[in-house]
Amino acid sequence: MSTLVLALAAGAVIGLALGALGGGGSVLTVPALIYLVGFTPAAATTASLIIVTATSATALYAHAASGNVRWRTGALFAAAGIPPAIGAGTLAARVPEAVLTAAFAVIAALAALVMLRPSRSGRRPAPVRPARAAGAGAGLGAVTGFLGVGGGFLAVPALTSVLGLRMRAAAGTSLLVITANSLAALLARTGTHVPLPWEVIAPFTGAAILGARDGQRLAAKLSGPTLQRIFALALLAVAALMLTDAIR
């Protein structure tokens, strides 16, 4: 199967996951680029930032039109994450590929475990603590910059538990945070001279954007918790594969 067909198929599946789950789907972008398309870990994390930025910005527009974005809260949360995202994005290009792969495997496993936890949507929102909010924003920015993931699996729980947002508002606001952090990390990598095959990245991104729209329709028809569990189990398998590859 040609690289272009694989890129289109992988982009569509990842976009579908993003649209259906509202967060966490982009964590599959890096392993898809490495194992399906043949990118190096350094190139995959950089290309992932391009794909995540474009897809998140498109989804952000749709959520903003529905009134689900808390702009001031999201801007403050993102502001805490932008400096770490830039620093981590610069550092990632200097880290051995095996270390980068192992770190990504750990984060992927963490994402899966977060998704498998019972929902807390019925609990009362926690009081907002500025120090905790800044710490959560900084941690998310560092993860985004270093590993090239959007971090929706971390952003949504942080926005609900730390800042007290309702789930729908947290999902929309997280896209603002993800877009800002991903763009900052991408700008930090512009001078790293990692070769990027745009003939693969462009169709991958387009398929992800279109897939996200279909994923939103899918989420309206199928059980959200069931979709999330299936995705989390698949993510655990990917994490195990990447960790095994890094140890070899």
pLDDT digits (tens, 9 = 90+) for 129-163: 667 778 888 888 888 888 877 677 677 777 877 77
Q: Is 20 helix (H, G, I), strand (E, B) or coil?
A: helix
Q: Is 138 helix (H, G, I), strand (E, B) or coil?
A: helix
pLDDT given for residue 133 in this prediction: 73
Q: Where are the alpha helices (DSSP H) in 66-197?
A: 71-92, 97-116, 130-147, 152-161, 167-188
Dist CA 45 CA 147 (whole Å): 6
Dist CA 73 CA 53 (whole Å): 19
Dist CA 182 CA 152 (whole Å): 11
pLDDT given for residue 35 in this prediction: 87
Low-confidence ranges of the chain (pLDDT < 50): 122
pLDDT given for residue 222 in this prediction: 64
| Cβ contacts of 106 within 8 Å, gap of 6 or more | 239, 243
pLDDT given for residue 195 in this prediction: 80
Both tokens of 80, joined, read 């805490």
| Cβ contacts of 183 within 8 Å, gap of 6 or more | 53
List the Cα angle 63/77/89 in 5-degree steps.
100
Dist CA 137 CA 4 (whole Å): 36
pLDDT given for residue 203 in this prediction: 94
Cα torsion for 188, 193, 198, 201, to the nearest 10°?
-50
